[in-house]
Amino acid sequence: MKEVTINVHDVFSSIATKYDKLNTILTLNIDKLWRKNAVRLCAIKENDLVLDLCCGTGKMIELECTAVGVNTEVIGLDFNQEMINVCIAKLNQSINNYNFNLIKGDAMELPFEDNTFNNITIAFGLRNVPDKIKTISEMYRVLKPGGKVVCLELSKPEMPIFRNIYNVYFSFVLPVIGYLGTRDKAAYYYLRDSVNGFMTKNQLKNEFKNIGFENSGFRSLTCGIASIHYGIKPLRK
């Protein structure tokens, strides 16, 4: 099969306005529960400084703003202006009484000082950056000692029978539904391929540990379709 090079930026530009609706359809709205579980695991306290990387349309930011309260700003960063535009419009409607700041930037070169944030989240974004290890290292750098990183990501089911059914859905059904919704077949073939080529749960856990995070681990969600990875920056080096 001929290999096709996909421009990830163009993929997200093409699906920005339909991203939320299609996610709801393709995951049967389970992604909403996954995000709530991820934010709950952060244990965000009122007035904590929170950064959401690859913030997309702002679904994590909505939850995080309500956690920190109206007096503290949540920062979201994404590399795609079309996604940021959708995010701004959504958040101005849903949480316009909260403080948030959206920045266009590179997750591999974060524009923040060392030891800035109490919590950093990244949902369905790590597999899209070219250098995953550099991104995790940057999260470690800008996280305060004692702070927590939480990464929500799609993964592969563990149960053999369920894994086989899921593979058929993910490889054949999902791209068709995605194409019918967006007329962009490449975008949803990219989604399939990015998940298939991503690190295993244990590999990502080990990368967190290698970079310096303590208590790194993961929780599987919905029979392993998704997983929440986490780590804490130690109080001392």
First CA to last CA distance, the chain: 48
Mind listing the domains of the chain with CATH numbers? 29-157+199-232 (3.40.50.150)
pLDDT tens-digit profile, the chain (237 residues): 233 346 888 878 877 888 888 777 777 789 999 999 999 999 999 999 999 999 999 999 999 999 999 999 999 999 999 999 999 999 999 999 999 999 999 999 999 999 999 999 999 999 999 999 999 999 999 999 999 999 999 888 877 777 788 778 777 777 777 666 666 667 777 777 888 889 999 999 999 999 999 999 999 999 888 999 999 999 975
Q: How far apart are the C-alpha atoms of 115 and 234, rounded to whole Å?
A: 11
Q: How far apart are the C-alpha atoms of 19 and 37, rounded to whole Å?
A: 21
Q: How far apart are the C-alpha atoms of 15 and 157, rounded to whole Å?
A: 26
User: How is the chain classified by DSSP, letter by letter?
Assistant: -------HHHHHHHHGGGHHHHHHHHTTTHHHHHHHHHHHHHT--TT--EEEES-TTSHHHHHHHHHH-TTSEEEEEES-HHHHHHHHHHHHHHSTTSEEEEEE--TTS--S-TT-EEEEEEES-GGGSS-HHHHHHHHHHHEEEEEEEEEEEE---SSHHHHHHHHHIIIIIHHHHHHHHHS-HHHHHHHHHHHHTSPPHHHHHHHHHHHT-EEEEEEEEGGGTEEEEEEE--S--
Q: What is the pLDDT of residues 124-138, one digit of tens each?
A: 999 999 999 999 999
- Residue that has been written with the tokens 């009484």 in this structure: 97
- Residue that has been written with the tokens 């949540």 in this structure: 74
Q: What is the pLDDT of residues 206-219, one digit of tens each?
A: 999 999 999 999 99
